[in-house]
Amino acid sequence: MQLSHPGRQFSNVIGARLSPSPLAPSSVRVGSDIPWSNFASKLFYTLLFQKPTEMTVEDIERAIGRFVFGAELAHKSGFDGIQIHAAHGYLLAQFLSPKTNQRTDDYSVHDGNDLRLLHTIVTRVRQVVPKDFVVGIKINAADYSSSGDDDSLTPKEERALNHIQTIAQWGGVDFIEVSGGDYEAPDFVSARQVSKRQAFFSHISRKAVETLEAIPRKPDSPGLPLIMLTGGLKTPALLHSAISSNQAHLLGIGRSSVLCPTIPATLKSLGDDPDTWPSTPFAPEPDAPLPKWIPKIPLVGAGANVAWYEVQMRYLAEKFQGFKQSGGSDEYPDYGLTELGATGSMWAWRLDGGFFSKMWGPLVAFSLGGAAVSYYTYPF
């Protein structure tokens, strides 16, 4: 189970109501760096996200308590472990970033305080769960622009590797997943491939593996966490390459597992020699981008692409339970579904799969798209 807190990235539309001001390390609004000359993006972020309220120490203690409660609940519910989400611009990532954490107290990014909150959560979680309960961390460790073939590191990546090295020496963390991006630069949901030969964040995950291997060890040293790589693992050959070239110890497969839910059986059918595994994708990717008349806002495009996969997972669940797919198609995946239609279907869906879910979803998406264009074309 993944445990996360959105912090400043809590959207006004969640829950279909205007939310109170979200809590965050500092009062830094999502999209505050975007100039009004980029009107469509600026308006979008202004409408979607409020200026957050800086957390008090009491607020931070309550947040720690909720993470610990979530871990304990996961254990009691039968889960084998949790992943603490400290990436993608969510609350814990906000505490790690100088951009979003402008505090001057014990939870600042200065004087070794940047990992204090995360360390406290891990320590208290370990106090309430068994030793064999898995605890992992997802951390922002890469600039998406970094080339998979370049050994150089950005200052951001150097800082992330230092964090990984420190976390590894805490003890109690079983794996660390490397990722990147936030709601202002949604690299973590981008479908753009950096290299056909490597996964999205293999550059930094390989460096993380090397960093952990270089840590001096003693007989009584705590076990080191495994490094997990996700993103862009679309072919059998890429899976083999990532492991055999020491890019990571663990691999996570997201979208490809939606397109091809039988990946384990597929790999088994390829035989015992991974060197012969093909470089062709497990399944074709969707090719149904948003219409050109919708303003090119990165989070909108990324969100629409995610919506397509979320709706496909709903279809898969309906198919597994013997229900007719609410989208009206018997094919899975339904490649006839557009990203615009998926966005509407994701928000406007009823469990009974009635007329509302089939017809109003696309209409809602069309209305939202039209509203965005109106704002963009006729500002007021």
pTM of the predicted structure, to 2 decimals:
0.84
pLDDT digits 0-9 by tens, 182-221 = 777 665 555 455 555 566 788 889 999 999 999 998 888 8
Neighbouring residues of 34: CB distance < 8 A, sequence distance ≥ 6: 41, 42, 45, 184
CA 11 to chain centroid: 16
Q: Are 128 and 72 in contact (CB under 8 A)?
A: yes
How confident is residue 31, by pLDDT bands cut at 50, 70 and 90?
confident
At 113 the pLDDT is 95
Percent of the chain clearing pLDDT 70 (strictly above): 80
CATH number assigned to the domain covering 2-284: 3.20.20.70
pLDDT digits 0-9 by tens, 5-26 = 999 998 886 655 566 889 999 9
Sign for the pseudo-dihedral over CA of 363, 366, 368, 371: negative
Boundaries of every domain in the chain: 2-284, 286-380
DSSP labels for 237-264? HHHHHHHHTTS-SEEE--HHHHH-TTHH
* Of residues 295 and 177, more confidently modeled: 177
Cα(11)–Cα(47) distance, rounded to whole angstroms?
9
